[in-house]
A and B are shown apart, each in its own frame.
Chain A
Amino acid sequence: MKIASLTSKDSYFEAFTVGEVMRHARGKTVEPLENVLITNLVMNTASGHFDEHAMKDSPFGRRVTFGGVTASLVIGMASQDTAENALAEIGMTGLRLKSPVFHGDTLYSYTEVLAKEDAGREDAGIVTFKHWGVNQDDVVVCECVRRVLVKRASHWGAA
């Protein structure tokens, strides 16, 4: 299989410029499909994410989306532009859940390229991204800093 034809040419290490900010093309409306399914799939037992009746009496009045789902969606929506050619996720820090997300909210993702560095192997480099997730009212719901090992086109571009 010619794998270079499976991913786009503009997501290799060389393509990123420190300081560039991207607005990712696809948003996603958070439904129980995302929140309840993933919360239950990963066995997060906090019923505030899946018991609508119990949450009626809470200050929120309804279920709140698990922050791990919010972060995964925000990074997911950024992934085609930042990790389509990733060899590995290295780590993450500064994940902050800044505003609650409810069923029916629509999330969008933005990314700034914070840094690029050599990876100690010639076929890839490390890119540090800052991600923001915003909702339909343009309120920031989460942010994080993520480090990814990304293929270099010089090595993988014709693979």
Chain B
Amino acid sequence: MTADFRNSAVLRAKGNHFEAFEVGKRFEHHWGRTLRHSEAALFSTLTLHFNPLYFNREYAAALGHADTPVNPLMVFTLVLGLSVEDLSEAGGAFLGVDDLDYGAAVYPDDTLTARSTVVALRDSSSSPMMGIATWHTEGFNQKGERVISFVRTNMVPRLKPREVAVQ
């Protein structure tokens, strides 16, 4: 009798633990993504983002755009999304984002890629099983122009609990 496939299967684990990070380490994130008009319009309408700039091409043209720009919040969530496997897939609360600046406008059919650098690592006072990581994440279009830059902070699980000095 052949062994059940589940018994021989090896887990292809995803994500990094806190110990994988050191300040200054850079990650070039996977995949990239070409954004299409329909999904950009879907994002704006689904989030009730009612600025016609993002879903009315004639209006966008009157404001000087050749096409409707992609809602910057979609650019933000996409660039963050591309960074997740390297940075935060292991779980732990998403604490916040600071210093977010939008760069070049993103248009339908632009292709975005993302990269991040570790900027700070500290202990969590609430859990020896967690660390707090801060990364600088940037997104770029196919011409190499920066479309977004932000600093994100997350709780990240440790592989091994931090040793706490016994008082």
Contacts and interface: CB of A to CB of B under 8 A. Distances in A.
Interface of A: 1, 3, 6-7, 26, 28, 33-34, 37-39, 41-48, 66-69, 71-73, 75-77, 79-80, 83-97, 144, 159
Contacts of A159: 62
B129 interface: no
B51 interface: yes
A77 B76 contact: no
B39 A89 contact: no
Nearest to B93: A97
A68 to B, nearest CB: 4
A69 B48 CA distance: 12
B4 interface: no
Given A38-B46, A44-B81, A93-B100, A83 B51 contact: yes
Given A1-B62, A67-B94, A90 B102 contact: yes
Interface in B85-121: 85, 88-89, 91, 93-102, 105
16 contacts: A3-B58, A3-B63, A33-B46, A38-B77, A42-B33, A43-B82, A44-B81, A72-B43, A72-B73, A76-B48, A76-B49, A86-B53, A88-B102, A89-B102, A94-B98, A96-B95
Nearest to B73: A72
A75 B77 contact: no
Nearest to A2: B62
Contacts of B91: 46, 48
